[in-house]
Structure 1
Amino acid sequence: MATRDDIENWLGQIALGDRASFSALYSATSAKLFGVILRVLDNRAEAEEVLQEVYMRIWRHAGRYRVNGLSPMTWLITIARNAAVDRKRRRVAIPADMSAIDSESDSGPGPEQRAIAASENARLSDCMDELDEGHAEAVRRAYLDGETYAELASRFDVPLNTMRTWLRRSLLKLRECLSR
């Protein structure tokens, strides 16, 4: 399993054009980023396309990452989530018979991936329970359902900056909880 230092080092090397570091980063992070994208899009084929776009962005913009004490995975996940939300907004309606064909050919995760996911889901669920109920719902809607800050602010009837603060503070609490 890659450490924070590994990922930060790979990003630094990628900024210099190091393909081996890019390959290592992809191997260490692609499953997680794919999961984030798939949760937003709920379409495996489309999620695979977006994942490719995400790694192209990472290749081009790795030099923008700044070591700041926060997890580099947060930076990568933000890129993936934003790309998925962008794609979801641009989405063209697919005929019902085409989506049925795509879903039949999808292969699900294997037993090991399901066990790891279940363990991670349980930890995350426990940490989400520590958040205020409204804040937890806002985090779910933003990062799992792909709702924008503006949509959430309207839904919860709070100013946009308040929603941003809710989400930022909630993510910090989650990070702290998950690091215990």
Structure 2
Amino acid sequence: MSRLTEIEAMIARIALGDRDAFGALYDATSAKLFGICLRVLSNRAEAEDALQEIYVKVWHNAGRYQVNGLSPMTWLITIARNHAIDRLRMRRKAESRGGDMDAVTAMADTAPGPEALAVAASDSAQIERCLTELEPDRAGAVRGAYLAGDSYADLAARYDVPLNTMRTWLRRSLMRLKECLTR
């Protein structure tokens, strides 16, 4: 049984309420998902909180996962990335309203741990290499949308293109990145 089919089997068992499968899924995937949260949020404590919330979502939504021939990690990574971006947007809203996030940020330990650094360094180097193969404006749009949490509308305005053009740029860029990352 391949690693991906093992993860799919764990997700299926989680949908049935299997706590052991949930623990096994956490052990198998938490380092990767934590790295994604840390990359988006740039705050270790917030990334740890986000990771807990992500696994609560996985527990509650495992029954919605459908085997479709794609990697089950894609489903998990999408949940993690979207959740981290949502937290980042909420943080920005609070900061723009004058929230006391500076005091919270000053208290939090922002230094990533060794495991997160290793995962992030490996993934980051490969992604950066692949991003250099994209046109500079496309690479900038991908960074904005998927790393900085910018909305498609904000990116369309920044690059002075229609919203649907921005969506097309991002979709095609992600397809090229996927090809590059699987080489």
Contact in 1 for aligned 2:41/2:84 (Cα 8 Å): yes
CA displacement at 1:59 relative to structure 2 = 0.8
How many residues get paired? 176
Matched-pair contact (CA < 8 Å) for 2:44–2:111: no
Distance 1:113 1:36, change over 3 A: closer
Instruction: Check whether the contact 1:34–1:47 (CA below 8 A) recurs between aligned residues.
Output: yes
- State which of 139, 155, 159 in structure 2 corresponds to 1:156: 159
Is the CA contact (8 Å cut-off) linking 1:39 and 1:145 kept in structure 2?
no
Give per-residue Cα distances to partners, 1:78-129, cap 9 Å, x unaligned: 21122122222323333534422213xx55322x654454333222222112
Rounded Cα–Cα distance in structure 2 between residues aligned with 1:123 and 1:88: 24
Task: Give the corresponding residue for 1:86.
Answer: 86
1:109 matched to 2:113? The reply is yes
In the TM superposition, structure 1's runs of 4+ consecutive aligned residues that sit over 6 Å from their partners are none
Pairing 1:119-158 to 2, within 5 Å after superposition? 119-158=122-161
Q: Which runs of 5+ in 1 are unaligned?
A: none
Match of 2:72, as an amino acid? P
TM-score norm. by structure 1 comes to 0.85
Over aligned residue pairs, what C-alpha RMSD do you find?
2.1
TM-score, normalising length: structure 2:
0.83
Structure 2 unaligned segments of length 5 or more: list them: none
Residues 89 and 149, structure 2, Cα contact 8 Å, conserved in 1:
no
Corresponding letter in the other structure for 2:29: T
- The partner residue of 2:102 within 96, 107, 115 is 96
Deviates more, 1:134-143 or 1:166-175: 166-175
Instruction: Quickly say closer, same or farther: Cα 1:98–1:123, change in 2 above 3 A.
Output: closer
Q: Higher mean Cα deviation, 157-166 or 18-27? A: 157-166
The percentage of counterpart residues that share the same residue type is 59
**For residue 61 of structure 2, what is the aligned residue in structure 1?**
61
- In structure 1, what is the Cα distance between the partners aligned to 2:139 and 2:149? 14
Map Cα deviations across residues 52-99 of structure 1 (whole Å, 9 max, x no partner).
111111111112222223222222122112212222232333353442
Question: Which residue number corresponds to residue 179 of structure 2?
Answer: 176
